[in-house]
Amino acid sequence: MALTDNELAAHLRSREESLLNPAVRRDRARVAALLAEDFQEFGSSGRVWTREQILDLLATETSQPLSMEDFECHQIADGVALVCYRSVRIDPLTHQPATALRSSLWTNQSGEWRMRFHQGTHSS
């Protein structure tokens, strides 16, 4: 059964929010279930990350929780959706917000939506 645009947006928002949760980020199996086998990420540093590199990195990450603002979801083809939002992290030292613009490409693989590509860019 196909999801409506609103249902798809809510579903993918939930999946994106889980990837912002520190407890989920450190759980390799939970993250692996959300990422496509051929996942790739372009980091804000310009580095390109593979699925395995991201799984290794997140398993040992110690970071502050992120929140999400300005969420948008657009189905760009059958079984393909583009998600864009702004993430916000409060710096524990300065208590100032640090934001990043984020975009993800999700694909429906065998009935499961999985992230295929992600990019984060620092913003002001």
Predicted local distance difference test score (pLDDT) of residue 124: 61
Residue 100 to residue 123: CA distance in whole angstroms: 5
Residue 100 to residue 89: CA distance in whole angstroms: 9
Predicted local distance difference test score (pLDDT) of residue 1: 60
- The type of residue at 4 is T
Q: Which CATH number belongs to the domain containing residue 108 in this structure?
A: 3.10.450.50
Mean pLDDT over 25-54 rounds to: 94
Alpha helices by DSSP H, listed for 26-67, are 28-34, 51-59
Judge whether residue 81 has pLDDT over 90: yes
Domain count, the chain: 1
**Structure confidence at residue 22 as a pLDDT band (50, 70, 90):** confident
Residue ranges making up the domain that contains 35: 5-123
pTM above 0.85, yes or no: yes
Mean pLDDT score of the chain, rounded to an integer? 91
Length, in residues, of the chain: 124
More confident residue, 102 or 1: 102
pLDDT digits (tens, 9 = 90+) for 51-71: 999 999 998 887 777 899 999
**Structure confidence at residue 117 as a pLDDT band (50, 70, 90):** very high
